[in-house]
């Protein structure tokens, strides 16, 4: 989760984007827990830890451990959480077993996304799964990406290609926010033409606008897993 978006005053506990984005992740985790007695959550590039912490809250009794992995944590934060159920760390655990590794909008920030995936693969032993989201389509590239320091945006084929090279077994890949794609495309192209200042499009909204956007995208999330065509975000999930 990108902390720069939080600097804009966005509260993920109520913002339509994060509240709708979590739905597919929760659904996937629930399916995994139907086949597993417990899971270890490894949130790579966790930032505030929003997504991992909501999984712990939702499925607490079945979550054995939560690792929040981010180089931005202070030494004090690391020491305060050491060996606790929810532990902040600078590095990927040396051994991951019965785990769900999540990377929520992380790979686009890395010049070498393949290396990160290989490091995760090397740590995984048995019965591990992944859930990854990244921004979709270079045609949507704008000052938003520049501001958030992205290296790239992905399509299903480019995301699955790098995952396959790292020996991740992709079970499904799809797009989120397809209904918003045309609007985002027009707005970002106009901003590019006008050469507007690089900034995040993620802003707090009025309660009415926030509720409407959430409801629209909540409905889309029910069928998102079959959307292979277009969207603002790209998702891949499967086994490591």
Q: Is the pLDDT reported for residue 120 higher than 90?
A: yes
CA distance 152 to 104: 15
CA distance 50 to 43: 10
- Greatest CA span in the chain, whole angstroms? 54
204 is in which domain, residue-wise?
Answer: 3-239
Report residue 192's pLDDT band, with 50, 70 and 90 as the boundaries.
confident
Q: Is the pLDDT reported for residue 4 higher than 90?
A: no
In what helix (H) or strand (E) does residue 72 lie, and over which residues does it extend? none
Q: Residue 41: what pLDDT?
A: 98
Our count of domains for the chain comes to: 1
8-17, 77-86, 95-104, 172-181: the lowest-pLDDT one: 8-17
Q: Is the pLDDT reported for residue 3 higher than 90?
A: no
Q: What is the pLDDT of residues 24-65, one digit of tens each?
A: 999 999 999 999 999 999 999 999 999 999 999 999 999 999
* pLDDT mean over 191-202: 84
Residue 16: which CATH number?
Answer: 3.40.50.150
* pLDDT mean over 203-232: 96
- Per the CB < 8 A criterion, the answer to whether 33 and 231 are in contact is no
CA distance 33 to 67: 18
Q: Residue 240: what pLDDT?
A: 97
In what helix (H) or strand (E) does residue 80 lie, and over which residues does it extend? helix 75-81
Question: What percent of the chain stands above pLDDT 70?
Answer: 98
- Per the CB < 8 A criterion, the answer to whether 189 and 137 are in contact is no
CA distance 200 to 216: 22
Mean pLDDT of the chain: 95
Q: Residue 1: what pLDDT?
A: 65
Q: Residue 194: what pLDDT?
A: 83
Helix, coil or strand: residue 44? strand
Question: What percent of the chain stands above pLDDT 90?
Answer: 90
Residue of 120, 105, 90, 115 whose CA lies nearest to 18: 105
């Amino acid at each position: 989760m990108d902390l720069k978006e939080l600097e804009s005053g966005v509260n993920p506990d109520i913002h339509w984007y994060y509240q709708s984005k979590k739905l597919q992740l929760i659904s996937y985790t629930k399916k995994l827990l139907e086949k597993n007695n417990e899971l270890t959550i490894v949130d790579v590039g966790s930032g505030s830890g929003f997504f991992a912490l909501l999984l712990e809250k939702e499925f607490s009794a079945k979550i054995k451990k939560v690792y929040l992995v981010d180089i931005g944590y202070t030494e004090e934060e690391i020491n305060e959480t050491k060996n606790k159920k929810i532990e902040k760390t600078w590095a990927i655990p040396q051994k991951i077993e019965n785990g769900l590794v999540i990377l929520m909008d992380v790979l686009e920030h890395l010049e070498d996304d393949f290396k990160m995936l290989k490091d995760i693969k090397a740590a995984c032993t048995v019965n591990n799964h992944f859930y990854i989201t990244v921004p979709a389509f270079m045609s949507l590239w704008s000052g938003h990406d520049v501001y958030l320091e992205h290296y790239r945006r992905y399509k299903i084929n480019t995301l699955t290609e790098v995952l396959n090279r790292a020996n991740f077994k992709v079970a499904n890949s799809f797009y989120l926010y397809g209904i918003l794609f045309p609007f985002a495309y027009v707005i970002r192209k106009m901003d590019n033409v006008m050469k507007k200042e690089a900034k995040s499009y993620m802003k707090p909204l009025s309660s009415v606008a926030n509720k409407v956007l959430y409801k629209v995208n909540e409905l889309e999330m029910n069928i998102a897993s079959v959307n292979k065509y277009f969207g603002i975000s790209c998702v891949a999930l499967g086994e490591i």
